[in-house]
Each structure stands twice: as structure tokens, then as C-alpha cells.
Amino acid sequence: MLADLIIHSARQRPAGVALRLQDQAETYDQLAAAIETFAAALAALRLPRAARVGIWIEKRIETVVAIFGTARAGCVFVPINPLLKPEQAAYIARDCNVEVLVTNAPRVAGFAPLLAQCPDLRHIVVVGGGETAGAPTGATQVLGWEALMAAADRSARPHRVIDVDMAGILYTSGSTGKPKGVVLSHRNIVEGARSVSTYLENTPDDRILAVLPLSFDYGLSQLTTAFLVGATAVLHNYLLPQDVIRALVRERITGLAAVPPLWIQLAALDWPASIGEHLRYFTNSGGAMPTATLAELRRRVPRARPYLMYGLTEAFRSTYLPPEEVDRRPTSMGKAIPNAEILVVREDGSECAPGEPGELVHRGALVSMGYWNDPEKTAERFKPLPGQPKELVLTELAVWSGDTVKRDEEGFLYFVSRRDEMIKTSGYRVSPTEIEEVIYRSGLVAEVAAFGVEHPALGQAIVLVAQPAEGRAADTKALLDACKAQLPAFMLPQHVDWLAGALPRNANGKIDRKTLAGERAGLFSGAQ
């Protein structure tokens, strides 16, 4: 099970450092004990099996304890990106019926007016002390982290779970509507850690810097791969890219994972020569790394091995390009990770010929359990594996990614395009309709379309085209202020265009985002 990653490593090397955060250090023995205590504390709350526990807080020791302790208790952890606004956190809590929310005092105050939207929420756990003015009352209990841990019921056994049971729900944005929760089993997460740590060749000597949000499968993976082999995970909440460089030096980091926008920023900075003495590898996912950025990183740390990867939350990780292949095929996604098979298929499910574009289909132990409480979307993405014998009573489900790729004669994969209209910016997947809903609520527009346009630093920048509401003038400042009040920084538009009349439609009568985006394709060609 998921928590066994830490418990087993604690038996092997109890005094080994599992976690670091600035001046704090937690050994495997200490971390395992804290996880057991948190699990017992949830038992004292009499939570049912598979109860959802929301974790809406920055990276800290308690965040990790809550994630793995929830899984140990037989409950389901729901990490919520700390950059999200209260309204977005409330949507997630309501959507998956969160019963316990672990957060901090400032977030409690912002969340209080939204409590009525979350009828299942019974307990709010406040980490780090501080005032909780405006905290919820009545049916919702508010208690401090220390009080929760002190009330742990040592006599209660955690719910029994097996590897196919739910462990976590990670929320990811699609092209339409609100974020959807991808349900991960214990097996999904543990096998993902085993697969990735195999090709990264992780050992107990590794020191892995965790800079990505733990609400991302890619960010969570930095913990699981470290804990599987008994390595040290170093938590880091950076403000500026230069902070990451300092952490690499201070912590003598051996492994670093990031997304393209961060790599672009890091590649532009000075790297002390000492980093090259200990950085063993770096990995990229969440979008293609620009070849110039990759070349610059390799120049700065020539001994570090680059791993270019492709993944989707619905199946964690799908492919990686071995470092020895980077010079020959720097734009390739590589081949399937261990214990996974990647197919390239036509619409009828038949396999594509080399060089023929088709949909990427992922099968294996990392295929998740589907979307929380959304059978329709689950049926769209999780479909039977093509080519199975008709005599099978139970068919294997695979993830149909929606991404178009092609395979060369040697079996290496190359990304072609994404079918849906999701925006990929700064390593985040952003739903255009979620942005549009905020803008419509402002009353400033009659129509609006949000879409992504290629940007050299962000991957894609968010662009809006809007028609002013009747009786109103085009007001870009007011529109952006409305966005800033309800959206995190990574979801804010980078450019706004106004049209006097209605926005263009496609043949189905829908706003034609594709045409609008194509007309603005070179908008950021000179940006840095």
C-alpha cells in the first residue's frame, strides 16, 4: 500500500533522512511514526472507509504526513493546489464530498463564507497555528494540528485496504467545465513510483528536490520515488527561479524535476559549478522542453542525465526518452515506461503504421480508476483495449489520451497535437470555460472566448477575445481585475482583444476558438 513505502524504508534505514524543509529534517522512523499517529487521529474522528480528506496547504512536513497518513487510515487524500482561490477549493471539496480539510488559518478565514456549499465537511484541521477569525462553527469542528494528533485513537485499527482500493483523487482541468477528479488506487501510485525509480536508477543516496505542487501527479511522484528507495525528498516552496538554484547548491540535490516554463527560466540563470558535482539527473514533463533550453541546461550541467517524459494524470506517466537517445532524437517522447504499453491507433482501434498519426492509448498497471462521480467522462476516456479476444468475459480498460502522436520505424514516439481545447500554460492544464465563467459573472462581456497561444516561456499564454456587454465600453483593466479576484496567477489572461460584434462561430454554432487562436498565432513570437 502507499504508506508502506515509508514504513518499509523506516525498517531498512530508520535514521535515514526522509524529508527536509529548510532547517527541518524528518527521519524515516519519525515520519513513519507521524503517519501512524495521523491515521489513528482520523480513526478517532470515526471516518468511514474511503472518506475524502482535502489537503489545501503549501509543501511542509504536515502536508506529507496528511497525504500518507490518510492513505494509511484507509481514507482517500485529495491534495488541493495551494494557489487555488477559496471558490475553487470549495468546488473540489463539494465535488468529492470532502469530510476533513487540512489547511492553515488564512485559508480557513477565506473558506468560511463558502462552508454552506460543502455540506459533507465536518472537520477543519488548522496547521501552523494563527488566528482563525471568521472560522466556521456549528456542524463543522475546527481544531489545531497538535490537538488532532493528541487525540489519536491508538486502539483503533485503520480500515483494511488492498492495492486496488482508492488512495487519492487528483483534480485536473479539461477543455470544458470544471476540473475533474482522477481517482488513483494504491497500486497506481506505487507501481508508478517503481516504474519511474527503475529508469531513473534512484538509490538511498539520492536527494530529490520537490519544487512542483503535490497536487500534480508529477509533483507527488518526487515523494513516492524517493520513499520507495529510502532517498531524501527536499520540500521547496520557491518564490523565484533563483531560489531553486540556491536550493540545488545548499541541499546538494541529485535529482530535479520541473516543467518547461520553469526550465526556461532556470536555463537563463547562472549555475554555480558545484551543482555539476552532485546533480545526477533532471527530468521534464508537462509539455515539450524547447531544444535550445535543453541544450543550455546540458551545457551548464554536462554530467547530469536528461530524461524527457510524457504523461497524463489519468495514467501518471506513459513514456520517457533514455538520455543516450537525446542527441539523436531530441524532440521524441521516447518509448513506454516499464510495466506499461503504449499503442498508436486509428479511430477504429486498429494500429497505425510507422509515421502515421494516431491516438495514444496507454495500458497497464498505471491506468487510473476513472473520474470521480462522472461516468460519462470516464466512459469517453477509459475504453476497452483494442484487439482483445472476443471470448474474454471481462475486458481490459485502457486510457485513450486524446493526444495525437506518431511512431517511427524504431518505435520512438513523437507528439503531434492535442484534440481538445485545453490550455497548457506554465505546466498547468487550464480549462478555458472555467476562465470564461468567471468573466461572464463579472457582467462586463456579452461573449468571451479563452484559448491558448504559443508562448516561448509559458508554453501557451492565455488569450481572451470578448464582445462588451450591451451598454458597456471595452474595459480591459476591469476585466483583468475580475479575473485576479477569482483566479490564481497561472490562469490569468496575458492578452485581451475586443470585438464590436459577435464572436465567430464554427459549423456547429459554437464559438470558433480554433480560428480565433489561429489569427493570433504569432502574438508572442517576440516575447522572452
Q: Determine the straight-line distance between the first and last CA of the chain, rounded to whole angstroms.
A: 45
The predicted pLDDT at position 176 comes to 56
pLDDT band at 397 (very low <50, low <70, confident <90, very high): very high
Residue 126: predicted pLDDT: 96
Helix then strand then coil, in percent of the chain rounded to 5, is 30, 25, 40
* The pLDDT value given to residue 417: 74
462-471 mean pLDDT: 94
Kindly report which listed range (30-39, 233-242, 244-253, 414-423) carries the lowest average pLDDT score.
414-423
At residue 272, the pLDDT reads: 97
Top mean pLDDT of 174-188, 215-229, 405-419, 424-438 is at 215-229
Say whether pLDDT at 363 is over 80. Answer: yes
Task: Look up residue 172 and give its three cell numbers.
Answer: 485536473
**pLDDT tens for residues 104-148?**
999 999 998 999 999 999 999 999 987 664 556 567 899 999 999
The whole-angstrom separation of Cα 513 and Cα 435 is 14
Contact 78, 54 (CB under 8 A): yes
pLDDT at 40 over 80: yes
Question: What average pLDDT does the segment 357-380 reach?
Answer: 96
121-133 tens-digit pLDDT: 999 999 998 766 4
Around Cβ 435, how many Cβ atoms within 10 Å? 24
Average pLDDT of the residues in 279-304: 92
Categorize the per-residue pLDDT at 156 as very low, low, confident or very high, splitting at 50, 70 and 90: confident
pLDDT at 485: 94
Least confident piece of the model among 282-291, 324-333, 459-468: 282-291
| The length of the chain, given as a count of residues | 528
pLDDT of residue 138: 63
Which of 2-6, 213-217, 262-266, 484-488 is predicted least confidently? 262-266
Instruction: Answer for the pair 514, 420: CB distance below 8 angstroms, yes or no.
Output: no
> What is the per-residue pLDDT across 201-258, written as a single tens digit (0 to 9) for each?
999 999 999 999 999 999 999 999 999 999 999 999 998 999 999 999 999 999 999 9
pLDDT for res 41: 96
DSSP secondary structure of 348-379: TSPBPPTT--EEEEEEETT----BTT-HHHHH
Residue 183 has pLDDT above 80, yes or no: yes
Q: What pLDDT, in 10s, does the model give residues 430-452?
A: 888 789 889 988 999 988 999 99
Domains of the chain: 4-161 (3.40.50.980), 423-519 (3.30.300.30)
Question: What would the mean pLDDT of 351-379 be, rounded to a whole number?
Answer: 96
Phi/psi region, residue 97 (left: phi>0; alpha: psi -120 to 50; beta: rest), is left
Res. 345: pLDDT tops 70? yes
If one compares 306 and 421, the residue with the highest pLDDT of the two is: 306
CA triple 471-474-480, angle to 5 deg: 125
Q: Please, which pLDDT band fits residue 291 given cuts at 50, 70 and 90?
A: confident
- pLDDT score of 528: 56
- How confident is residue 82, by pLDDT bands cut at 50, 70 and 90? very high
What pTM did the predictor assign? 0.88
Report how far residue 61's alpha carbon sits from residue 239's, in angstroms, rounded to the nearest whole number.
19
Q: Are strands 166-172 and 180-185 parallel, antiparallel or unpaired?
A: antiparallel
Given a contact cutoff of 8 angstroms between Cβ atoms, the answer to whether 478 and 469 are in contact is no
What's the chain's average pLDDT?
93
